[in-house]
Amino acid sequence: MSDNADWWRGATIYQVYPRSYQDTTGDGSGDLKGITRRLAHIAALGADAIWISPFFKSPMADMGYDVSDYCDVDPMFGTLADFDELIEQAHALGLKVIIDQVLSHTSDKHPWFVESRSSRRNRRADWYVWADPKPDGTPPNNWLSIFGGPAWEWDAVRKQFYLHNFLTSQPDLNFHNPDVQDALLTAVRFWLERGVDGFRLDTVNFYVHDRQLRDNPARRLTARQKASETNPYEYQNHLYDKTRPENLRFLRRFRALLDSFGDRASVGEVGDGPRSLKTVAAYTSGGDKLHMCYTFDLLGPQFSAAHVRRSVEGFEKVVVDGWVCWAFSNHDVIRHVTRWTRPDGDPRKVARFAIALLACLRGSICIYQGEELGLQEADLAFEDLRDPYGIRFWPGYKGRDGCRTPMPWSHEANAAGFTEGKPWLPVPDGHKALAVDAQQADAGSVLARYREVLAFRKQWPALLTGTIEFLPAQGDTLAFLRAAGNERLLCAFNFADEPAQIALPEALGTPTPLGLPGADGQVSGSMLSLPALGTFVGRVG
């Protein structure tokens, strides 16, 4: 892909969870030098960029998403010099580097918060969201924390509540204060000047809260939804604690800073329930805010042609001039091979099907470390958990540690080659058998298929940046056209466990197969036959 301002459009981004990628010190946790050591694997896969989850100084109450210093590396991950070396080596391999920015909140150990909570009159007294209690001593409103309980914590020094949308040790910054915005943009500039190519913005729609602190209304849930929910957070319609219109002004300031450095990019995480697509549209429209966003539409349990079509068509309808980044897995959700493999199914077949589908969707795509090996969710014992979210809601919800276990590199080595010490999370035996070295020379492995499909995707401009148009399809099948210039490609997928046929519009003519790796669809005239979990890509007139 050429080096230009639009490098991110259609890019393949590989997410690295640094604590679990490669340990070089023997302490059982991954580090920046470990990522640098394994960059060749990412480049050989066919990725265009890496996204590195937080490695900043932190007490690690939420695994680094509680930052205590935005401009330094936590010693467990290494040093700034290690990061500079990572940047240099990544760029030498043609890889862009995207880093997480957790701007909505800090750690309660951050110097800003330490000063803010010390009194009601100090230079940072208004840098966080503080509020007096109601007359009866209860919190100022009904807002809830995603991690359980009220979103307000009492502070005995200021004799006020402070807002925390996540852990009590993650106080929310007050974006209504321009000094806060300036300080955060200064931190962003620090990393831009070190050479990063972009940012993934964590919880980007949580930045701004309602000034009036109005109560959230109840959300209308069906009896089935109530029975399935383990977290009361979902019982509210979150109108006032997030996704406030004032956030757009900050995003414009953020984009202006990025644009001043040239070909940099941004991708925002939007978790906004039924409103997610409207939020993505607002945050990516006009070319003056975020470059792209991703939602949780394809990060859930639904595995059907209808759901994928509904999600993609919904985006295309609502987000007119924005851009999306699709992902099936990340560090917060159950791995998609586990979510989508039926009880008697073959997870390897699901993995191969999924990468073919992802590569054909319109948008940029994100691959989460280990999915190129077909890793399934690890089943961990309660005593092995490190995720505060899982510990809080166990056993109704087991948390996110099952998708965060260490990357297996060598099937015979200690901890599968991740560390010479005791890994911070266990490495399942099933993962060891799927290690990189065990798949490296196997032409039929999931790893080989990922490499082949990503290489195939780069050959066709229509798959990278072209339009998408869905065709009528029968049963649990999906068919759509991708087009760019004179290039028109038919992409078809059978989600079912039995063979299916798709009657193609006569105007398309007979598609010419293009050799999508693993594609097993057969064309006869205007009829396309697909086996169970079958795929097809062909050129049409």
Give how far the C-alpha of residue 92 lies from the chain's centroid of Cα atoms, to the nearest Å. 25
- pLDDT band for position 36 (cuts 50, 70, 90): very high
Helical residues (DSSP H) of 117-231, grouped into ranges: 178-193, 223-228
Mean pLDDT estimate for the chain: 96
Q: Is residue 85, in this structure, part of any structural domain at all?
A: no
> What are the pLDDT digits (tens) for 323-337?
999 999 999 999 999
Q: Which helix (H) or strand (E) holds 98?
A: strand 96-101
DSSP secondary structure letters along 428-440: -HHHHTT-HHHHT
Q: Is residue 237, in this structure, part of any structural domain at all?
A: no
Residue pair 437/408 in contact by the 8 Å Cβ criterion: no
The single residue listed with the structure tokens 């006032």 is 240
Four-residue CA torsion sign, 349, 368, 48, 32: negative
Four-residue CA torsion sign, 21, 27, 31, 37: negative
Helix axes 446-458, 347-360, angle to 10 degrees: 10
Residue pair 405/427 in contact by the 8 Å Cβ criterion: yes
Spatial distance between the Cα atoms of 368 and 366, rounded to a whole number of angstroms: 7
DSSP secondary structure letters along 454-522: HHHHHT-HHHHH-EEEE----TTEEEEEEEETTEEEEEEEE-SSS-EEEE--GGG---EE---TT---E
Spatial distance between the Cα atoms of 436 and 443, rounded to a whole number of angstroms: 13
Q: Is residue 296, in this structure, part of any structural domain at all?
A: no
Tell me the percentage of the chain whose pLDDT exceeds 90: 94
Residue pair 457/359 in contact by the 8 Å Cβ criterion: yes
Q: Is residue 529, in this structure, part of any structural domain at all?
A: yes
- pLDDT band for position 298 (cuts 50, 70, 90): very high
- pLDDT band for position 320 (cuts 50, 70, 90): confident
Q: Is residue 497, in this structure, part of any structural domain at all?
A: yes
The Cα angle at residue 85 between residues 80 and 90, in degrees rounded to 5 = 125
> What are the pLDDT digits (tens) for 211-225?
999 999 999 888 888
Q: Is residue 231, in this structure, part of any structural domain at all?
A: no
pLDDT, residue 268, reads: 97
Could you tell me which residues come within 8 angstroms of residue 366 by beta carbon, excluding any fewer than 6 positions away?
A: 12, 13, 14, 15, 51, 294, 325, 326, 327, 330
Q: Which of 358, 359, 279, 361 is nearest to 322 (CA)?
A: 279
Residue pair 71/57 in contact by the 8 Å Cβ criterion: no
Residue pair 233/145 in contact by the 8 Å Cβ criterion: yes
For the question of residue 229 being annotated catalytic, the response is no
pLDDT, residue 3, reads: 55
Q: Is residue 505, in this structure, part of any structural domain at all?
A: yes
Q: Which of 79, 163, 83 is nearest to 128 (CA)?
A: 163
The Cα angle at residue 415 between residues 412 and 421, in degrees rounded to 5 = 125
Residue pair 147/389 in contact by the 8 Å Cβ criterion: yes
Question: Does residue 24 carry a pLDDT above 80?
Answer: yes
- From the candidates 82, 108, 202, 272, which is the catalytic residue? 202
Tell me the percentage of the chain whose pLDDT exceeds 70: 99
Q: Which of 85, 91, 99 is nearest to 36 (CA)?
A: 85
pLDDT, residue 1, reads: 38
Amino acid making up residue 216 = N
- From the candidates 62, 108, 153, 269, which is the catalytic residue? 269
Residue pair 42/50 in contact by the 8 Å Cβ criterion: yes
Q: Which residues pair with 260 in a beta bridge?
A: none
Number of structural domains in the chain = 1
For the question of residue 269 being annotated catalytic, the response is yes
> What are the pLDDT digits (tens) for 360-389?
999 999 999 999 999 999 999 999 999 999
Question: Does residue 541 carry a pLDDT above 90?
Answer: no
> What are the pLDDT digits (tens) for 92-142?
999 999 999 999 999 999 999 999 999 999 999 999 999 999 999 999 999
Q: Average the pLDDT over 466-495 and give the result.
A: 97
Say whether pTM exceeds 0.85. yes
Higher pLDDT residue, 5 or 179? Answer: 179
Residue pair 104/76 in contact by the 8 Å Cβ criterion: no
Query: Residue 511 maps to which CATH number?
Result: 2.60.40.1180
Spatial distance between the Cα atoms of 475 and 496, rounded to a whole number of angstroms: 8
Domain containing residue 520: 466-539
Amino acid making up residue 422 = K
Q: Which helix (H) or strand (E) holds 265?
A: strand 265-269
Give the chain's end-to-end CA distance (angstroms, integer): 26
Q: Is residue 530, in this structure, part of any structural domain at all?
A: yes
> What are the pLDDT digits (tens) for 409-435?
999 999 999 999 999 999 999 999 999
Amino acid making up residue 240 = Y
- Structure token digits, residue 28: 């059982």
- Structure token digits, residue 165: 């949308």
Hey, how many other C-beta atoms are within 10 angstroms of the C-beta on 149?
13
